[in-house]
Amino acid sequence: GAGVSQSPSNKVTEKGKDVELRCDPISGHTALYWYRQSLGQGLEFLIYFQGNSAPDKSGLPSDRFSAERTGGSVSTLTIQRTQQEDSAVYLCASSFRLAQETQYFGPGTRLLVL
82 vs 109, which CB is nearer to another protein?
109
Nearer to another protein, 79 or 91 (CB): 91
Q: How far apart are CA 3 and CA 35, in angstroms?
A: 17
Show the site string, 15-54: x = touches another protein by CB under 8 A, - = not.
----------------x-x-x----xxxxxx--x-x----
The footprint of another protein on this chain (CB under 8 A) covers a number of residues equal to 28
CA distance 17 to 68: 19
Answer for which of 26, 59, 76, 80 binds another protein (CB under 8 A) is 59
37 — alpha (psi -120 to 50), left (phi > 0) or beta?
beta
CA distance 75 to 51: 12
Q: ω before 25 within 30° of 0 (cis)?
A: no
Give the Å distances, CA to CA, from 52 to 32, 48, 63, 71: 11, 11, 22, 9
Residues 69-98: x where in contact with another protein by CB under 8 A, - otherwise, as a string: ----------------------x-x-x--x
Site residues for another protein per CB under 8 A: 4, 31, 33, 35, 40-45, 48, 50, 56, 59, 91, 93, 95, 98-108
